[in-house]
Structure 1
Amino acid sequence: MDTNTISTGLIESEATGLLARLDQIKPFVMHETMVLAAALPRDAQLLIERFLHTGRNELRGQLAHFLDWLETDGRESSPAEQQRRFVLIRLQFNVVLAQFDLFTEVVTQRSEHATGVWLSGLDIVAQDALRLETADDGDTRLVVYLARGAGAAIRRAKTRLPGGKPNPVGIIRLPRERMIGSGIASSLVHEVGHQGSAQLDLVASLRAEIERRTARDPDGGWDVWSQWISEIVADMWSVATVGITSTIGLLAVVSLPRYFVFRPGGTDPHPMPYLRVLISAAIGNALYPHPQWRELAAVWRAMYPLAGLPAGHAAWIRNCESRIGDLVDLLLHHRVPLAGGRELGTIWPVRERQPERLLRLYETWGGDFGVMARQRPALVFAVLGQAKAAGRISPADESSRLSSLLTAWAVRGSLDVLDSPAPAGSRTMHNFTPTALPRR
């Protein structure tokens, strides 16, 4: 038997084997076990399944075309050409697997007892946090999963996945160690802020304004804000949405050994932790004036005094700290072209998040589970976080209430799916109606 014949037979066998393995990749709805309340939001599930189905079908078509070619014109081709074509298809198969595995991590946790339902509730919180005074969340859908470590991350919707195709949904990774308390909202809404700022093109427009300030005031230290602006605006989104809950949660995340708190970031887009907490507190005080922000900043400075740092480094930090007010002023008054030219500080429900109003809501609700479950989820996190900061509720009681509320939101979302033929955003809870809910 000649070399060409052996080569063709070997490659054909590999291609048909690859096709058989491709057929073993089933839709998530066929092999993931979970209670309905833990399921992904219906529209997000459809987007993911369609995305993966399209990728599998395209690859299946490529394999069929390759096998047809191998049986006809390709049989006379050289082994090198046959192998070249097959290897390209096999690489595409690995791309399909990488895409599948990415979403597997998100979906599999929905089968964990209790955790899966809480994640479904956090999907709803994330979607609510994406809403603005100027617009709803559009066609972007967000899903949540847990991972080890203290940090959170997002793979934004419409960014490129392995293979180059746009991500159908935003995937938010949260630290498992923060489940469950109001601090989870700090990390969650920060990542939502990355999605929201991308949709409004905030980083580009803010960076352009900072560059204009730099040109007018080259010694004003604006260049460092330009480097950090993507994380700063995500922090702003979080503070604007859940108030002091955000800053206290951030403080917990960046409470690190002293060296790391003061370490220069180099090209890291994350601000130096010491300055980042102070920026967050300054944003909070500008949006929601209250002594609590100055008190929190003072506690942070006491935890990490500048004494003992090299003189030059300490001077640079003090210079940056002295200019935080200018940065916050720029942020609040920045005109957002994609929000109709409104100032950035006005696109969130700022009036609803004033500390005294949050505490009044806490007293008015009186711990009534049914009342709280009918509110906007992001508002509930802001209220409970503010109540905890004011000493009105213990961390244990807060955790218990939030776990019950996440469950209630997840259950309601699943019942909405059963009651509706699949309207867009059926799990986003845009309208909160006083439907019957269990009371505790």
Structure 2
Amino acid sequence: MNDASPRRDALRRQLGHWRRALEALLRFDEIAAPDAWASLEPALVGTIRDSFSRAAGRQMAELSSLERRATSAGGGDDAAIEARLVALRQGYSLLETTVDFYGDAINSRSNPVMQRTLAGLDRLAGLSMQRLLTPLGHPVPPVLCYVDRGLGAAILKAGLRLWDPTVLSPAATIKIARHNLMRPTALIHETGHQVAHILGWNEALADALEDALSGESVELAGVWASWASEIAADSYAFAHTGYAAVANLHDVLAGDIDYVLRFVPGDPHPVSYIRVLLGVEMCNAVFSDGPWQGLARAWMMRYPLDGADPEVAALIRASLPMLPRLARLCLHAPLPALGARPLSHWIDPGEVAPPVLQRLARAGGGAISRSPYWSAAEPLRILALAGLQMVTQPARATAIAETQQQWLQRLEPLPAAA
């Protein structure tokens, strides 16, 4: 019995299925709601759709080649076509994962209130990157903020290869944790990751941290250097939003004692215990005395080091005396990646010191969150002010959060790049 025809029929049937699947993957209004697409900047919509269309086009070309071979009497060995079909299926799965990620992110903007809120966060994210990238001669990537579950924020950086390695991330795609939507200082931590990636700041800061600690301990220096990417992003959030960034980070990290005192070799996140106290030392370095000192005392009381693994406790104890020096290094040390200048040269954290923000609040008065003038002139400092007020005036936090959401919804988008 000759089984060649049924085998070839099965191939043709499968190829037809994957053609229809690829065609469906590019029906963009089925991936995300039309209203959600419409909430994005047109240039970003075009970039996303073009990226996916090119990737699908490459797979369509391969599929067409296989279809020709499968319908030709001399099309070649069925096993060879089947092997290429398996590879095509795998490629489709990777592209589908990429498209679904963006579809879910864009669909988080389907609600009109969420559309406007996330568009406001897009603007703040773009402005925060502009402050460092523009003077250093780099374009600001597009931004797509979305809301999702979980404790922490995250970023899929623009320019990175996605699940489908033929597709580059078309935007700085930033997840805002739903619970933190109204105190979004973590947004600036994530844009710090994008900026650091573009500038090579992580590598420069790692070298500086290692040099600063090499006289103490080679092992300690290596551990701190391995944390450079998260420390750079924390420094960026602090420079923009001050104490609010530290207090909000504290609240995200304040889990059980095993979590706070956990050290995972190779994890770029510092031990949570150290990470919060480094933020406090940034406050001390720039602002002097303030409520962050009470926060540090409460933190150390809640998480006694005798609850840590002995090796982790030794790492923490060796690090604690170094924190003031390391905080100053993060903010004030010139680095090659920052144009041979310190972070504080480009973004002065003194501008978000509590007394300075209080003066801003008095100058703006009740109109500060409603005035187009103030929103255009001081959007990032208004974010820092609202964050500070929520941290230091907990009885008013709900009202402040509601006012901030209304303010976010009124922010105008960044002008399109020329």
TM-score by length of 1: 0.85
The Cα shift of 1:9 comes to 2.0
| CA displacement, residues 294-341 of structure 1 (integer Å, 9 cap, x when unaligned) | 233223223334466577654542221111122223323433323321
* 1:3 matched residue in structure 2: 3
* 1:398 matched residue in structure 2: 400
Q: Aligned pair count?
A: 412
* 1:303 matched residue in structure 2: 302
Written as runs of structure 1 = structure 2, the 5 A alignment for 1:289-368 is 289-306=288-305, 314-368=313-367
How far apart, CA to CA, are the structure 1 residues paired with 2:196 and 2:248?
20
* 2:56 matched residue in structure 1: 56
Written as runs of structure 1 = structure 2, the 5 A alignment for 1:122-201 is 122-133=121-132, 135=134, 138-165=139-166, 166-180=168-182, 182=183, 184-185=184-185, 187-201=186-200
Give the secondary structure class of the aligned counterpart of 2:254: coil
Written as runs of structure 1 = structure 2, the 5 A alignment for 1:363-378 is 363-368=362-367, 369-370=370-371, 371-378=373-380
After the TM superposition, list the runs of 4 or more consecutive aligned residues in structure 1 that deviate by more than 6 angstroms: none
Please say if 1:106 is aligned against 2:105: yes
The Cα shift of 1:235 comes to 0.7
Give the secondary structure class of the aligned counterpart of 2:134: coil
Counterpart of 2:80, as a letter, is: E
Give the secondary structure class of the aligned counterpart of 1:342: coil
Kindly indicate whether the alpha-carbon contact (under 8 Å) linking 2:192 and 2:233 is maintained by their aligned counterparts in 1.
yes
Range with greater deviation from structure 2 (381-390 or 169-178) = 381-390
* 2:280 matched residue in structure 1: 281
Give the secondary structure class of the aligned counterpart of 1:143: strand
The share of aligned pairs that are identical, in percent, is 24
Counterpart of 1:249, as a letter, is: N
How far apart, CA to CA, are the structure 1 residues paired with 2:30 and 2:259?
46
* 2:44 matched residue in structure 1: 44
Give the secondary structure class of the aligned counterpart of 1:280: helix
The Cα shift of 1:70 comes to 2.7
The Cα shift of 1:51 comes to 0.7
Cα gap change, 1:347 to 1:373, in 2 (>3 Å): closer
How far apart, CA to CA, are the structure 2 residues paired with 1:31 and 1:97?
10
How far apart, CA to CA, are the structure 2 residues paired with 1:311 and 1:15?
59
How far apart, CA to CA, are the structure 2 residues paired with 1:203 and 1:31?
35
* 1:438 matched residue in structure 2: none
Written as runs of structure 1 = structure 2, the 5 A alignment for 1:5-84 is 5-28=5-28, 32-33=32-33, 35=35, 39-72=39-72, 74-75=74-75, 77-84=76-83
Kindly indicate whether the alpha-carbon contact (under 8 Å) linking 2:389 and 2:400 is maintained by their aligned counterparts in 1.
no
Cα gap change, 1:102 to 1:388, in 2 (>3 Å): closer
The Cα shift of 1:262 comes to 1.7
Kindly indicate whether the alpha-carbon contact (under 8 Å) linking 1:134 and 1:339 is maintained by their aligned counterparts in 2.
no
Kindly indicate whether the alpha-carbon contact (under 8 Å) linking 2:204 and 2:335 is maintained by their aligned counterparts in 1.
yes
Counterpart of 2:146, as a letter, is: Y
Please say if 1:424 is aligned against 2:406: no
Kindly indicate whether the alpha-carbon contact (under 8 Å) linking 1:74 and 1:82 is maintained by their aligned counterparts in 2.
no
Kindly indicate whether the alpha-carbon contact (under 8 Å) linking 1:362 and 1:384 is maintained by their aligned counterparts in 2.
no
Counterpart of 2:387, as a letter, is: G
The Cα shift of 1:5 comes to 2.4
Counterpart of 1:386, as a letter, is: L
The Cα shift of 1:372 comes to 4.0
* 1:433 matched residue in structure 2: none
How far apart, CA to CA, are the structure 2 residues paired with 1:32 and 1:227?
38
How far apart, CA to CA, are the structure 1 residues paired with 2:35 and 2:61?
35
Kindly indicate whether the alpha-carbon contact (under 8 Å) linking 2:144 and 2:174 is maintained by their aligned counterparts in 1.
yes
How far apart, CA to CA, are the structure 1 residues paired with 2:37 and 2:348?
29
Give the secondary structure class of the aligned counterpart of 1:49: helix
Structure with greater contact order relative to length (CA < 8 Å, sep ≥ 6): 1
Range with greater deviation from structure 2 (351-360 or 216-225) = 216-225
Q: Structure 2 unaligned runs (5+)?
A: none
| CA displacement, residues 121-146 of structure 1 (integer Å, 9 cap, x when unaligned) | 21112112212256266141221112
